[in-house]
A and B are shown apart, each in its own frame.
Chain A
């Protein structure tokens, strides 16, 4: 009996933590194509209800969700083995404060992928908007979708459209894998 109450209290604590962090959408689990569409629509609804954001802000948040969720779906690896999965799993959290939306995504990846992602994000964070436009066009012209150019284009596009740094962290899971976390900001205006 007590365990049931403790469990429910934990959920309450989880709920209040989310409220404190101004979370408006959160999901943990398999990211199928249907989930991508459903949660992006859900986030659009949540933003519309609030009624204060410009078209541009809403569109950017929507775009970040589509790009990142599709990346998880396509590129997330098995957390134990680091092997590719048919359907990726992960977590994402959308927060809204007075000044900005924050979208954070997380998924397991094979350790072998870390360097490429880290250096791409480091590069992207150092460029200004003009340079990002050039990099975007160059990557689009040269890349094929089977490269990691598929995921890279998304990061470049998010950086140039938001004008904000992409914050990443790789939390080790085991010898094969780490959990890749990425936080993106959209300023509300």
Chain B
């Protein structure tokens, strides 16, 4: 299937969905004007990917900021990844946060608590 690569902007994150190279990433800031408009293609892509996912999918989150509207869509992404994992294809999450960013660390831990998929919490 086609990769989905979206460049970072001042209000939306970088997106890399590249199964051939095993790269799955969401990084930067998320406060887009139209949250659903931005995230729907990502959700659709994951739905399609779910038909034949890699044996192992490691999804990297490295966000500096996201608003509450984005928080909901990030949850939606995680729920779709969880379904892939539940079907027997390994999924794991690397949740990155700046060392001094307690809120981002807490968000990662909160999502981890809601999910069956393994989370690794990494500070940088």
Contacts and interface: CB of A to CB of B under 8 A. Distances in A.
Contacts of A163: none
B100 A37 contact: no
B57 to A, nearest CB: 23
B80 to A, nearest CB: 14
B10 A67 contact: no
B110 A154 contact: no
Given A55-B101, A56-B103, A140 B65 contact: no
A5 interface: no
Interface in A128-181: 133, 137, 140-141, 143, 145, 150, 153-154, 157, 161
A36 B29 CA distance: 14
B67 A63 contact: yes
A60 B35 CA distance: 21
Please classify the interface of chain B as helix (H, G, I), strand (E, B), loop, or mixed, using the class held by over half of its residues: helix
A59 B66 CA distance: 11
Contacts of A36: 31
Nearest to A143: B72
Contacts, number: 54
Nearest to A155: B68
A140 B103 contact: no
B39 to A, nearest CB: 10
B72 A55 contact: no
Contacts of B11: 33, 37
A140 B109 CA distance: 15
Chain A contact residues: helix, strand, loop or mixed = helix
A141 B75 contact: yes
B114 interface: yes
Given A33-B33, A161-B103, A59 B69 contact: no
A67 B101 contact: no
B67 A150 contact: no
Contact of B75 (A62, A133, A140, A157): A140
A70 interface: yes
A56 B56 CA distance: 35
Interface in A11-46: 33, 36-37
Interface in B51-65: 65
Contact of B67 (A59, A67, A133, A141): A67
Interface of B: 10-11, 31, 33, 35-36, 65, 67-69, 71-72, 75, 98, 100-103, 110, 114
Closest 5 CB pairs of A and B: A55-B100, A153-B68, A33-B33, A154-B68, A157-B68
